[in-house]
Amino acid sequence: AVKSGWISSRGKFIEEFEKDFSNYIGVKYGVATANGTVALHLALTALGIGKGDEVIVPDLTFAATINSVIYTGSRPVVVDVDPEYWCISPEEIKKSITKKTKAIIVVHLYGHPCDMGPIMEIADQYGLYVVEDAAEAHGAEYKNKKIGSFGHVACFSFYGNKIITTGEGGMCVTNDKELADKMRILRDHGMAPERRYWHLVVGFNYRMTNLQAAIGVAQLQKIERFIKKKREIAKLYAEALSSVDGITLHPEMPWAKCVYWLYSILVDKKIKKKDEIVKELLKRGIEARNFFYPLHKMPIYRKYCRGSYEISSRISESGLNLPSSVKLSERDINYIAEQLKYIIKSK
C-alpha cells in the first residue's frame, strides 16, 4: 500500500479485505469502516433507525453499543443478560418490546455467542432488525455457524486488542445488497457512487484506509492460529482454576464455540474482594481487569434503564478479565493461575 502510493481510503486492499473477511464470516458483503463504533452507527443509520424508534441493547457491554444508538436519535432500551453465559437474555428482550421497537443489538460478550436461535425467532415474530455487535467475537460460532451471519447486519471492530486488528478499524457485514450499498454511500459522505460531488444523503466519512486494509488482509491469514491460541489459553486457565472454591470459569454453552477474546472468571466476593485480587496480581506483574460496569449504573445512561438488572450487576461485580494475549506462553498462564490461586486462598 505504501509503495503504490494508495495510502488513503482508495486502493485495492479495501475491497480485498472486505471480500476476504465477509467470506470468512460466510456473508456476502463487507463494508470496511474507520472503527467498530462507527460501523454500528452506519448499520443503524442505513437501517433507517432514528427519532421515535427504540433499540434494545444489553446492560453488560462496552459503551459503544449504546452510544451508537444515541447518535441516531433513537432511544436505547437496556435489558438484563443471561446468568449462565453473560450475553443478552432472549426472555428479557421479549419483555421489553413495545410498538416503537425497531431493532435489537446483541453483543457476543468476551467472545461468547448470544443465543441466536430464540433471538432471531423473536425478531421474526415482531418484525425487528437484529444487529450483531461482534466486536469481541470474530470466529465464534453458534451451532456450528459463525456469528455475524445471523443478524440483518453485523459489526466488527479491528481495534488493537481485538481478535484481529488493523490498528483502528471496523466492518459491517450483511447478505442484503441494498443495505450494503446504502452503507457504502453513507460511509463516503453520502456521495452518489457514479457522480462525484453529488450528495444523495447527509453522509459521514467513516472509511477505512488502504493501509489499514492491507494489515487486515495479513491479519486475517492468521485468524485461525489466533483463535486456536485463545482456546488453548482458555483450556489452560480452566484446568488450573476449575477446582478453586469461589471461582466460576468462563462459560461455553453446548451450542457455542467461544473464542475467549478475554478469558474471564467470576470470583465470589465472599471468598475474596476483587479489588484486592487486582491489586495483588499487579504487584506480581499481572494485569487483570474488572468487567464493564453495567450501563444502568452510570448516570448518563440511567434514563434508558427500567428494571433491577440483578444478573448483570452480579456478573459485573464479580467479573475479572485475565491476561489473554496470544503472545502468552503456557508458562505465563500457569504462573498467572498459580498466583491467582495463592491470592484467593490467602486470608
Q: Which residues of this protein are in contact with ligand PLP, per CB under 6 A? A: 35-37, 61-62, 64-65, 107, 133, 135-136, 157, 159, 170
Q: Shortest distance, CB of residue 154 to ligand PLP, whole angstroms?
A: 11
Cell 471496523 sits on residue: 170
**Pick 69 or 336: Cβ nearer ligand PLP:** 69
Nearer to ligand PLP, 159 or 247 (CB): 159
Q: How far is the CB of 168 from ligand PLP (least distance, A)?
A: 6
- Whole-number Å distance between alpha carbons of 7 and 215: 12
Q: CB-wise, 207 or 272, nearer to ligand PLP?
A: 207
Handedness of CA 77, 82, 83, 86 (dihedral sign): negative
**Least distance CB 162 / ligand PLP (angstroms):** 6
User: Residue 292 Cβ, how far from ligand PLP at the closest point, in Å?
Assistant: 8
Q: How far is CA 15 from CA 40, 208, 289, in A?
A: 20, 11, 36
For residue 121, CA distances in Å to 91, 151, 223, 296 come to 12, 11, 31, 27
Cβ atoms of residues 335 and 343 within 8 Å: no
Question: Closer CB to ligand PLP, residue 247 or residue 320?
Answer: 320
- Least distance between ligand PLP and beta carbon 139 (Å): 15
Residue at shortest CB range from ligand PLP: 36
Cβ of 237: how many Cβ atoms within 10 Å? 25
Distance CA 173, CA 133 (A): 11
Instruction: Give whichever of 62 and 335 is closer to ligand PLP, judged by the CB atom.
Output: 62
